[in-house]
Amino acid sequence: MEPIENIGEEYQNYWETKMFLQNEELDSWAIDEAFSGYYDSSSPDGAASSAASKNIVSERNRRKKLNERLFALRAVVPNISKMDKASIIKDAIGYIQELHDQEKKIQAELLELESGKSKKNHGGFGVHYHQELPVLLRSKKKKIDYQFCDFGGSKISPIELLELRVAYMGENTLLVSLTCNKRTDTMVKLCEVFESLGLKIITANITTISGRVLKTVFIEVSLFN
């Protein structure tokens, strides 16, 4: 009468605490030996019983492993609603999808802000920015339109332009000068916008004075683009 885990009786705790109780090696091997002859197998010798018990313990270990994995899955997922197996998997799915959305958004932001330098200007990657400066070359009367373009990809406090001047200096050199109100990350966003355009910047100058940010950029342009 070893302390084998009693089968078919009580000992039916909640499965999580049972996991802890199952930590010791479950050697309940004599139990099905006691239950042998229960369904009248073909050969009631010891070999068949051993094989059956092997299968039993193997299956038990498989279940134990699967439960441990599920427990570990529950550990890495926050905001678990219930302790059910199905709920654990459901919450894990929702959490992964949530992380997927977050990653997609962040990737999109980073791609908008930091990219634009891989290929030159083959017109297939940027979303907002690369539609602006090529327009700058055609007309100067559309200044007021740029007030509404969402400068700065971050959704927090978009940059609002106060002034924008574009002048052709000759010798494939373009002068872009703009001013805007200084608020948080204004200089960062301006630099991001200009660096994301992948332009050939000859020299750039950005300065802040009395609550304003003034940026002056000399750009090398090729007239046949």
The listed partner (a second copy, DNA, none) that binds 124, CB under 5 to 8 Å by sort, is none
Report what 30 binds from DNA, a second copy, none; CB cut-off 5-8 Å by kind.
Answer: none
Looking at the DSSP assignment, which residues form a beta bridge with residue 181?
212
Indicate the residue among 132 and 195 with the shorter CB distance to a second copy.
195
How many angstroms separate the CA atoms of 87 and 91, rounded?
A: 6
Give the whole-angstrom CA distance, residue 31 versus residue 111.
62
- Which of 161, 102, 95, 154 lies closest to 128 in space, CA to CA? 154
Q: Is 195 in the site for a second copy (CB under 8 A)?
A: yes
The nearer residue to DNA, 18 or 183, going by C-beta atoms, is 18
Q: For a second copy, which is the closer residue by CB, 149 or 206?
A: 206
- Each residue 84-103 as x (binds a second copy by CB under 8 A) or -, in order, gives -xx--xx-xx-xxx-xx-xx
Name which of 3 and 124 has its Cβ closer to DNA.
Answer: 3
CA distances from 216 to 64, 196, 210 (A): 67, 16, 17
Helical spans, DSSP H, in the chain: 15-21, 30-34, 46-76, 85-114, 133-136, 186-196
| Binding partner of residue 54 among DNA, a second copy, none, CB cut-off 5 to 8 Å per kind | DNA
Q: Which does 14 bind (CB under 5 to 8 A by kind): a second copy, DNA, none?
A: DNA
Residue from 117, 119, 120, 140 touching a second copy (CB under 8 A): that is: 117
Nearest of 93, 97, 94, 117 to residue 105 by alpha carbon? 97
Does position 38 interact with a second copy (CB under 8 A)? The reply is no
Q: Are 80 and 91 in contact (CB under 8 A)?
A: yes
Distance separating alpha carbons of residues 161 and 44, to the nearest angstrom: 90
DSSP characters over 45-60: SHHHHHHHHHHHHHHH
> Which stretch, 43-51, 134-142, 158-166, 192-200, contacts a second copy (CB under 8 A)?
192-200
The answer to the question of residue 201 lying near a second copy (CB under 8 A) is: yes
User: Minimal distance in Å, beta carbon 67 to DNA?
Assistant: 5
Backbone angle region of 123, left / alpha / beta, with phi > 0 → left and psi within -120 to 50 → alpha: left
Binding site for a second copy (CB under 8 A): 62, 65-66, 69-70, 72-73, 76-77, 85-86, 89-90, 92-93, 95-97, 99-100, 102-103, 106, 114, 117, 154, 184-185, 187-188, 191-192, 194-195, 201, 203-209
